[in-house]
Amino acid sequence: MQRILPFWLVAALAACTGSHKPSCGAPTTAPVPAGVETIRFAAGDGVTVTADLYAPHPASAPMIVLFHQAGYSRGEYREIAPKLTALGFNALAVDARSGQEVHGVGNDTAADACGHGKPTNYVDAIADLRAAVGEARKRTTGKLVVWGSSYSSALVLAIGADLGADAILSFSPGEYFADQGKPKTWVADNAKRIAVPVFITSAKSEHDDWAPIAAAIDPAKLTTFLPETAGHHGSSALWASQPDNAAYWTAVTAFLKPLA
């Protein structure tokens, strides 16, 4: 029987597979929320990375570094980050250079990369992820958690063993990079080196996309969650507009509690 996928999932999978069109950001029309600071720092190749810092707690509090999905920006976390701070975490929501706009927040890192003639494929965003983790370390003496969505959720698993984070959350990972010069099992091959707690979730229909990756991770370190409902792709599963967001939040909160 042919499986019919919902439109949102077809669009999300199309964004993470196949040819990748250059992303050069978009204008920001949404205001910066009260108490949030937009900061900038340099990636290793000179691109200026933009991020929103949610830091109501002292520097001794744990920090979560948040990376967005394809076509998006740090705006993916405008409603998620405040809920994380309510759990006791500071948060840094980062524009990686492969992205465009969401919730009226343009991707300034993508715009800067394009302005400097730098490529903006998914794998090119690794430079931004590394720079963001380095910046976060300057701003916390507590535990450091790395969190990715869609393509960035796969990247945080692929390079996670090298980031020195205390935990990793991955929303809808997959082997998205075969058309960008990486082996078909690149994420799984590297995820097996991770030695910290890992949380993986996705829409229910995406399970087979990440099952081989999860199988490579030490089961004693791995927590997975699939909703009983259809669910949603990426970190946007946590948005209040998603009817099953509460189930995702319950699972995420339980995973984060020992780190707070």
**For position 20, what pLDDT does the model report?**
52
Mean of pLDDT values over 9-13: 42
- pTM across the whole model: 0.93
Token pair of 175 as six digits: 């082997």
Name the helix (H) or strand (E) containing 101.
strand 101-102
Mean of pLDDT values over 239-255: 98
Question: Bigger pLDDT: 6 or 248?
Answer: 248
Mean of pLDDT values over 20-45: 92
Terminal CA-to-CA distance of the chain, rounded, Å?
45
Domains in the chain, CATH or no CATH each: 7-259 (3.40.50.1820)
Over residues 102-149, the pLDDT tens digits come to: 999 999 999 999 999 999 999 999 999 999 999 999 999 999 999 999
- The helix, strand and coil proportions of the chain, stated in percent and rounded to the nearest 5, come to 40, 20, 45
Over residues 195-231, the pLDDT tens digits come to: 999 999 999 999 999 999 999 999 999 999 999 999 9
